[in-house]
Structure 1
């Protein structure tokens, strides 16, 4: 399965210089958040595949105008072609934004997912906005990752952990792909294509 991952900035390649053929061969689109709803709606109008998304810390506008033709998987497990995708958006709390959480609040969200994870017999992809704590997260407080995501990786060992929030321009240590134990970690900043064999 070929997955197009999007996060944080609207790709000029896919918006300003869009050609329908650029979506050929894509089986699924995953958004890690902080993207204009108009951008996702635009892609949905040309795509024949599901576009799944979680909220970024700047996506308060989704409450008023969510992206048309897309599927929000916040606090859910969405199964597509047998691939189990769990969504948990938002960032660490740094002001009073709607999509910001303390470490304790995110742990509570994960606890509420336990029964659904058990019912689905695990997950294949963890889709979030923020990274996991200590796994390619930022040095500043705003871009710190969540401890609860490390707990998920340790306990359920999804094949892929896909996140955004840490931009390529933030540091020289930006990693597009990494590994945490048995999980491939992907930073979806801008756009990235992965071929998933699950």
Structure 2
């Protein structure tokens, strides 16, 4: 059972030092809204891969492609990559890293003109694409998704009522189809309140603002 360090939204100063090496983990999962050099440090200090999705305060990473020569392009033109070096962007994708199959859906509900914000309809469309990709992988190797990594939570599952912090209703359908053992999200700052894990039909839902150390169960091979 892989052990992971999950982080989002709030920098934990002790993790940005050599003290982080005391955590024996197999992987770093980042749920958005953290400095990219912080993620690079965690991956380098732990000597472990990092998988992330962007939050609503992160740079827009859509359209960037890495060539076989290792050069980044956008709209076909060479350009510096603004994301974390060496980390895997799982947004809108299904990736196999560190012994886990991870589906990613970054961003928040749209509340202004900033990057990485989606209407409910747009996120539902993105979630359907991820479900199709996960289904094709499962047809090839019989393996389901272990972790659904999101920035925002599902609607009514630890979200808030203000416009910027509402969760996505469509994530309920994604969880039902993918049936991951774990959904990891950020975006909802607890401000000192206790944040219990939640259950969605057997999927453990974890708010990782700050950080958590988690053992990841094997996925249940959903659609």
Q: What is the TM-score normalised by the length of structure 1?
A: 0.91
Residue number in structure 1 paired with 2:154:
132
Residue number in structure 1 paired with 2:47:
48
Is residue 182–residue 217 contact of structure 2 (8 Å, CA) maintained in 1? Answer: no
Q: Distance in 2 between matches of 1:7 and 1:176?
A: 16
Write out per-residue CA displacement over residues 132-191 of structure 1, whole angstroms, 9 at most, x where no aligned residue: 01111112111110011111112222110100000111x74x524221121001101101
Structure 2 unaligned runs (5+)?
A: 63-80, 139-143, 219-223
Describe the SS at the equivalent of 1:60: coil
Q: Distance in 2 between matches of 1:22 and 1:68?
A: 23
Write out per-residue CA displacement over residues 68-94 of structure 1, whole angstroms, 9 at most, x where no aligned residue: 221111111111354210011000000
Q: Distance in 2 between matches of 1:59 and 1:5?
A: 17
Q: Distance in 2 between matches of 1:47 and 1:157?
A: 29
Is residue 44–residue 68 contact of structure 1 (8 Å, CA) maintained in 2? Answer: no
Structure 1 unaligned runs (5+)?
A: none
1:186 aligns with 2:203: no
Describe the SS at the equivalent of 1:6: strand
CA drift of 1:49 comes to 1.3
1:150 aligns with 2:150: no
1:22 aligns with 2:44: no
Distance change in 2, residues 1:14/1:76 (3 Å): same
Q: Distance in 1 between matches of 2:132 and 2:40?
A: 32
Residue number in structure 1 paired with 2:133:
116
Aligned residue pairs total 194
Is residue 45–residue 69 contact of structure 1 (8 Å, CA) maintained in 2? Answer: no
1:78 aligns with 2:95: yes
Describe the SS at the equivalent of 1:9: coil
The 10-residue stretch of structure 1 (35-44 or 25-34) with the greater mean CA deviation from structure 2: 35-44
Kindly name which structure, 1 or 2, has the bigger radius of gyration based on alpha carbons: 2
Write out per-residue CA displacement over residues 22-64 of structure 1, whole angstroms, 9 at most, x where no aligned residue: 23x2101000000001111122222221100000000026675
Q: Distance in 2 between matches of 1:61 and 1:11?
A: 24
Q: Distance in 1 between matches of 2:209 and 2:126?
A: 24
Q: Distance in 1 between matches of 2:85 and 2:209?
A: 22
Q: Distance in 2 between matches of 1:72 and 1:96?
A: 22
Structure 1 segments of 4+ aligned residues over 4 angstroms from their partners:
61-64
